[in-house]
Amino acid sequence: MAQIVGCINTSHVPSIGKALAHGLQKDPYWSPFFDGFPPIHQWLAEVKPDVAVVFYNDHGLNFFLDKMPTFAIGSGPQYINGDEGWGQPDYPPFASEEKLAWQLINHLVDHDFDMTICQDMMVDHAFALPLKLLFPKQSPCPVTTVPISINTVLYPFPSARRCAALGRTVGDAIRAWDSDKRVLIVGTGGLSHQLEGERAGHLNRDFDTKFMDSLMREDPSWIEQFSSEDIIEQVGTAGLELIMWVAARNTLRGPVREVMRNYHIPISNTAAATQAFAPL
Ligand code: DHB
Ligand code: FE
């Protein structure tokens, strides 16, 4: 049966892609963020994932306001990065793990998650950039992928409770997959930030820290007491992206070890954070 080797959650600020493209990792503005990654690269070299299941939020590239699925999953042969803003990084297409995509689709629909199934799906910075951060020297991306998109763009949003349940069901589906592949889970977005309106620049280190601490517990459900509106109040409109972290972390069952944690304010007015977990 397939094995989940771990979970990595990280911010996906587009300017990180620009910094990567220009080799600015040691620049004083950028180093507090990038310095967190060598331990992750070392860990990935040890756990050797074959596949990444990526929970991310589309920002209006593949889904726009006329059609906005709450939960969508890719089942296509490959995923092309069609990013917006900051200049489109020249990433080759991401290979698909189609068998796992269909294992997830069948298991999720069987367990009451009515996914939007996308045979053709463009991906944006929220998908492409974290994979580049994880595998900066390898091109094309060395793992096959399954993208799962969660709506954080248009009301109403799925609750943290619902995203946790989605994550648990995805985890169970992976563990039930008849394959010897090693699967890495990636959750992208957050942490606290708001890019527009009167509260533009809003950050909340205290809430972010409580959230990251809660994900370390065997029972990571602390965030589930909050509605989407409560979360937006605390961490800003775009900070709601933390629900990707919730889905990703909940794929792991039982106690976890924190492989690495990094938190830095600000990058592009965002609390830039990374946290990785391994099952114990
Ligand atoms: C920006 C975009 C994002 O999607 C995000 O999560 C944080 C910052 C930006 O445009 O700066
Ligand atoms: Fe975003």
Distance 166 CA to ligand 1 centre (A): 24
Sign, CA dihedral 22-152-120-248, equals: positive
Query: pLDDT by residue (tens digit) across 165-199?
Result: 999 999 999 999 999 999 999 999 999 999 999 99
Lowest mean pLDDT, pick from 4-8, 43-47, 67-71, 90-94: 90-94
pLDDT beyond 90 at 43: yes
pLDDT beyond 80 at 86: no
Distance 42 CA to ligand 1 centre (A): 27
Distance 13 CA to ligand 1 centre (A): 4
Using alpha carbons, select from 197, 226, 268 the residue that is nearest to residue 17: 268
User: How confident is the model over 193-220, as a mean pLDDT?
Assistant: 97
- The closest-lying atom of ligand 1 relative to the alpha carbon of residue 15 is 11
Yes or no: say if 114 and 46 are a contact pair by the CB < 8 Å rule. Answer: no
Using alpha carbons, select from 72, 56, 75, 53 the residue that is nearest to residue 6: 53
Please give the structure tokens belonging to residue 150: 């969660």
- The closest-lying atom of ligand 1 relative to the alpha carbon of residue 241 is 6
Ligand 1 mutation target, pool 124, 193, 237, most atoms within 8 A of CB? 193
pLDDT band at 49 (very low <50, low <70, confident <90, very high): very high
How many other CB atoms are there within 10 angstroms of residue 149's CB atom? Answer: 29
Tokens 């994979």 belong to residue: 131
Using alpha carbons, select from 115, 120, 140, 116 the residue that is nearest to residue 128: 140
Query: pLDDT by residue (tens digit) across 93-129?
Result: 999 999 999 999 999 999 999 999 999 999 999 999 9
pLDDT on residue 36: 93
Distance 156 CA to ligand 1 centre (A): 20
pLDDT beyond 60 at 33: yes
pLDDT beyond 70 at 84: no
CB-ligand 1 contact for 270 (6 Å cutoff): yes
pLDDT on residue 90: 79
User: How confident is the model over 120-148, as a mean pLDDT?
Assistant: 96
pLDDT beyond 90 at 21: no
CB-ligand 1 contact for 59 (6 Å cutoff): yes
Distance 12 CA to ligand 1 centre (A): 7
The share of the chain scoring above pLDDT 90, in percent, equals 95
CB-ligand 1 contact for 181 (6 Å cutoff): no
Lowest mean pLDDT, pick from 11-25, 91-105, 240-254: 11-25
Burial of 46 (0-12, 13-18, 19+ CB in 10 A): exposed
Q: Which one of the listed residues 12, 59, 193, 264 is annotated catalytic?
A: 193
12 in catalytic set: no
pLDDT on residue 83: 79
User: How confident is the model over 131-142, as a mean pLDDT?
Assistant: 96
pLDDT band at 12 (very low <50, low <70, confident <90, very high): very high
CB-ligand 1 contact for 220 (6 Å cutoff): no
125 in catalytic set: yes
Mean pLDDT score of the chain, rounded to an integer? 96
User: Measuring from atom 2 of ligand 1, which residue has the nearest CA?
Assistant: 13
pLDDT on residue 259: 97
- Cis upstream peptide for 203 (omega within 30°): no
User: Measuring from atom 1 of ligand 1, which residue has the nearest CA?
Assistant: 13
Distance 227 CA to ligand 2 centre (A): 19
Q: In this structure, which ligand is nearest to the CA of 57?
A: 2
The share of the chain scoring above pLDDT 70, in percent, equals 99
Dihedral in degrees, nearest 10, Cα atoms 13, 102, 98, 17: 0
User: Measuring from atom 3 of ligand 1, which residue has the nearest CA?
Assistant: 13
pLDDT on residue 190: 95
pLDDT band at 85 (very low <50, low <70, confident <90, very high): low
User: How confident is the model over 6-29, as a mean pLDDT?
Assistant: 94
